[in-house]
Structure 1
């Protein structure tokens, strides 16, 4: 019995040893893969920490830059405040000066009369052209209507005669075709005439508009000539107009400054929104990294 069982026992021991060896090899391989994976995750985490560090540094620089911009804006606001104060004082002085010496230019009776006459002539001419065009259209409509009524009456009479004669149907049909053709031709001619009249009317209105513009130019020229004449006698007025012009320029500058200031504030709000979005992204990344670490542990 011993002689038979010994080889079998040895074989079983060898097989068990081989199984344990294979299992250990698999476990070692699995452990090696896990170590490699953990190493990669550590490396990734290290890179994320480095990136986070760089972002913090960049954010710090941006905050510093924003601080400098705020300081600069503060200085500009202070300067603008001083300029506004200075402008207020200048306006006050200008107001006092204006009370003492400001003379308004008035049109002479002759110019008023001339301008009124020119305006009246323009209106008369325009109204006359409009009235003429309206009468032409009305007369043409009446003429067309009368012509159509006459044609209809003629047609009715011819139909009556045809019914009485009662034997010339083919001839009647031919005549009717010819009459229809003639009527179409007449309608086409009338349409052409309408177009020509419309073009003529437009041309007249354009001529009136051109004439009106020329008269306006002439009126402006008279005003300019008058201003040149008055400038020689009224040196003080010229100074007054110069002051008004300077004031207008100041108002434009003031509005430009206000626009720039609004633009700066809008830029500042945009930066703050961007910063807040960055912080939210950073929080999400940190939370996600913590979850990963917890899962690995």
Structure 2
């Protein structure tokens, strides 16, 4: 983690504020990246970088005020001001923009944040792209003034004016890759409507699943030679921690990608919200904070 200075705080929409963060030697990043932000003792959250990757002196994040939860967003909204310092992790990207002749971007609410730098890059590269941006109402949709410069490539479709995003029509009209971020109902509907090979999603909260009953299994850490038993109700990460096998981690709910680990042998029951369906089918990596074994034994590159 590094210290960053809050240099600006801006209201972007009802319930949404952005923060500009500066610091010495900020590492570069690519569209789709996010950072861990230590909000206060014991509370770390992940936020998409939504500024310009070419600006190496500043990062920008945007925060939706959420009344439920542990109070991280409320603290940022109500307490943190320009001149304060925060601790931030290195940028990580589980949602990279792959080169393509064009893109379909679909955003719901605060899900616009990781798409903003993607749109900037697509426009810079001369790609054919369209953004479909929904929200409960126009006043709660952030960065609309910033998006106005792209003209009719941006379709603003607030729910109280247009209803739910017309996904069938949006997705039927193009063969381009689809990048989607927003609330779980939007993501789930997009998954149902779009072929998995075209779709790339970013989730801010764990995906809704109906996991199979849990059973005990064995995990071998190949590099360290340690073997642990993982009990029902225990995560692989917790079992490895107890055996003094270090694994980097952050969210512990399968959304940030910090604990992604190579799988050498065994079959994985994926429960994360990071990997695409093709990546799950390959079974080459897993998030050890939430995912489990389908086989009796897993061998991991640890």
- TM-score w.r.t. the length of structure 1 is 0.13
Higher-RCO chain (CA-CA 8 Å, sequence separation at least 6):
1
- TM-score w.r.t. the length of structure 2 is 0.12
Structure exhibiting the larger radius of gyration computed from Cα positions: 1
Where is the strand percentage greater, Structure 1 or Structure 2? 2
